């Protein structure tokens, strides 16, 4: 394939939304209130809708019989390149919202830049997605504030969640070979330029929510190279169940 870097770059974006969408999909019918239940399902729906556009584009580039579903569901675990953050479990509503918020801040600023991509298709997907993601960010930010400045218990729970997930934030800004190549061609977003703003925004909202900004400097990485946490296999077991059990069928 001629444009392997672009293909890999697209997967790097789409896999994040796929796995996060999958995680949120687990919660359907189990939310703390009907409103949050519907909202989480809605965010999952948005993300998976975006995922379809990315993978359809990737399939078009691959031009070898792969389609959006085989790309999404038929890869071995080591070929998924999502960040570790999005595969973390729905331990409780605090973890779900912390994961969402830490991703949304990144996702929003990433898509803001991707709208200027030299690749017209990616720019168009970004323009369409950013409206949805600005809602995700508002939703998760509001919940960080509610939980942080709510009750003693909610404060403790959201602080724990933020502390635990903090270790996965740095990886959002790591760059793969494909990323570097795409940045140099004006297609990709130079995430190194987003990092400072990211931590500023996150910190300022955490403070507003009466939460402590974690100080740990120890970060986890690996997802972008396909080295995942132990959670990933279970996510894929469900995601791939039908495609693996009944290969090559249409549904």
Partner 1 sequence: MSEAQIKSLEEEFEARIARDEKIEPKDWMPEKYRKTHIRQMSQHAHSEIIGMLPEGNWITRAPSLRRKVALLAKVQDEGGHGLYLYSATETLGISRGEMFEQLHTGKAKYSSIFNYPAITWADIGAIGWLVDGAAIINQVALCGTSFGPYARAMVRICKEESFHQRQGYEIILKLTEGTPEQKAMAQDALNRFWWPALMMFGPRDDDSPNTAQSMKWKLKRKTNDELRQQFIDQTVPQAELIGLTIPDPDLKWNDEKGGYDYGDIDWDEFWQVVKGHGPCNKERMKARVAAWENGEWVRDAAMAYSEKQNFLRKQESRAV
Residues in touch with partner 1 (CB under 8 A): 22, 25-26, 28-38, 41-42, 44-45, 48-49, 51-52, 55, 68-69, 72-73, 92-93, 145-147, 149-151, 153-154, 157, 235, 238-239, 241-243, 246, 249-251
Residue whose CB is less far from partner 1, 20 or 172: 20
How many angstroms separate the CA atoms of 28 and 233, rounded? 21
Compute the least distance from the CB of residue 15 to partner 1, in Å. 13
Residue whose CB is less far from partner 1, 31 or 220: 31
How many angstroms separate the CA atoms of 50 and 46, rounded? 6
Residue whose CB is less far from partner 1, 147 or 187: 147
Residue whose CB is less far from partner 1, 22 or 169: 22
The angle subtended at Cα 33 by Cα 28 and Cα 209, nearest 5°, is 105
Residue whose CB is less far from partner 1, 44 or 169: 44
Compute the least distance from the CB of residue 234 to partner 1, in Å. 10
69, 130, 184, 204 from 94: Cα distances, Å: 31, 24, 38, 18
Compute the least distance from the CB of residue 51 to partner 1, in Å. 7
Residue whose CB is less far from partner 1, 115 or 243: 243
118 and 3 Cβ atoms separated by less than 8 Å: no
Please list the alpha-helical segments (H only) found in the chain: 4-25, 34-62, 68-73, 93-114, 120-148, 152-166, 177-184, 195-208, 232-245
Residue whose CB is less far from partner 1, 68 or 119: 68
Compute the least distance from the CB of residue 13 to partner 1, in Å. 15
Compute the least distance from the CB of residue 35 to partner 1, in Å. 7
Residue 136 CB contacts under 8 Å (≥ 6 apart), including other chains: 43, 46, 100, 104, 107, 108
113, 177, 187 from 184: Cα distances, Å: 14, 11, 8
How many angstroms separate the CA atoms of 203 and 184, rounded? 30
State in Å, rounded, how far the first CA of the chain is from the last one.
28
Compute the least distance from the CB of residue 151 to partner 1, in Å. 5
Compute the least distance from the CB of residue 68 to partner 1, in Å. 5
69, 157, 198, 239 from 244: Cα distances, Å: 11, 38, 38, 9
């Amino acid at each position: 394939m001629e444009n392997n870097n672009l293909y890999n770059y697209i997967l790097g974006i789409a896999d994040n939304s796929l796995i996060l969408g999958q995680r949120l999909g687990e919660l359907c019918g189990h939310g703390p209130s009907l409103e949050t239940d519907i909202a989480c399902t809605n965010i999952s729906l948005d993300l998976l809708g975006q995922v379809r556009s990315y993978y359809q584009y990737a399939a078009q580039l691959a031009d070898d019989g792969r389609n959006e579903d085989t790309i999404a569901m038929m890869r071995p675990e080591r070929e998924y390149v999502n960040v570790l953050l999005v595969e973390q479990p729905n331990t409780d509503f605090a973890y779900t919202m912390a994961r969402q918020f830490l991703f949304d801040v990144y996702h929003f600023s990433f898509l803001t830049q991707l709208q200027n991509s030299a690749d017209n298709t990616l720019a168009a997907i970004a323009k369409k997605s950013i409206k949805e993601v600005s809602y995700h960010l508002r939703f998760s930010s509001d919940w960080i504030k509610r939980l942080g400045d709510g009750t003693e218990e909610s404060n403790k729970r959201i602080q724990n969640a933020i502390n635990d997930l903090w270790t996965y934030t740095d990886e959002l800004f790591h760059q793969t070979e494909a990323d570097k190549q795409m940045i140099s061609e004006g297609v990709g977003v130079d995430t190194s330029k987003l990092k400072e703003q990211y931590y500023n925004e996150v910190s300022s909202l955490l403070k507003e929510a009466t939460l402590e900004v974690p100080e740990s400097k120890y970060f986890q990485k690996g997802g972008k190279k396909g080295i995942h946490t132990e959670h990933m296999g279970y996510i894929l077991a469900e995601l791939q169940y039908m495609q693996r059990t009944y290969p090559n069928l249409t549904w």
